[in-house]
Amino acid sequence: MTEVKAELVGNLWKIVVEVGQAVEEDDTLMILESMKMEIPITTPISGTVKEILVKEGEVVQEGRTVAIVE
């Protein structure tokens, strides 16, 4: 089980995966809007999206766990 964390503070613009979806290492799970950029949050491991812990439009802080991949 791996906690996927936001690398920097930003507005959570888009979630592009669903709970239960299979993902490969480095796949984009969601996109953060920050510092004038669309910054993908990617999964460090291959597996299944177990939980999504944020909502679109929410401001996430650096280091916050945004999803759990198993």
Partner 1 sequence: MPDESASAGLEQLTDDLHARRAKALTMGGEERVTQQHDKKKLTARERVSLLFDAGTFVELGMLAHQHSMTGGPTEPDRTPADGVVTGEGLIDGRRVYCAAYDFTVMAGSMGMVGEQKVARLRKRALLNRLPMVWLLDSAGARIQEAAGSTFAGSGALFYEQVQMSGVVPQVAAMLGPCAAGTAYIPGLADYVPMVKETSSMALGGARLVKAATGEETSDHAMGGSQIHCYISGVGDLEVDDDAACIAATREFLSFLPSNNREMAPRRDTQDLRDRRIDDLGKLVPVNPRAAYDMRKVLKRLADDGHVFEIKPAWARNIVTAFVRFDGQSTGVVASQPMIKGGALDIDAADKAARFITLCDAFNVPLVFLQDVPGFIVGTEVEKQGIIRHGAKMLYAVSEATVPKVTVVLRKAYGAGYYVMCGRGYEPDALVAWPSAEISVMGPEGAVDIIFPKQIAAADDPSAARKEYIEAVRKTIDPYIAASWAFVDDIIDPADTRRVIIDALEGAATKRQRRVWRKHGVRPV
User: Rule CB under 8 A: which residues touch partner 1?
Assistant: 7-9, 34-40, 61-63
Smaller CB separation from partner 1, 37 or 53: 37
DSSP helix/strand/coil, 1: coil
Chain length of the chain: 70
Helices and strands, counts by H and E, the chain: 0, 8
Smaller CB separation from partner 1, 7 or 24: 7
Task: Find, among 52, 44, 41, 45, the residue nearest to 19 by Cα.
Answer: 52
Q: How far is the CB of 44 from partner 1 (least distance, A)?
A: 12
Smaller CB separation from partner 1, 1 or 35: 35
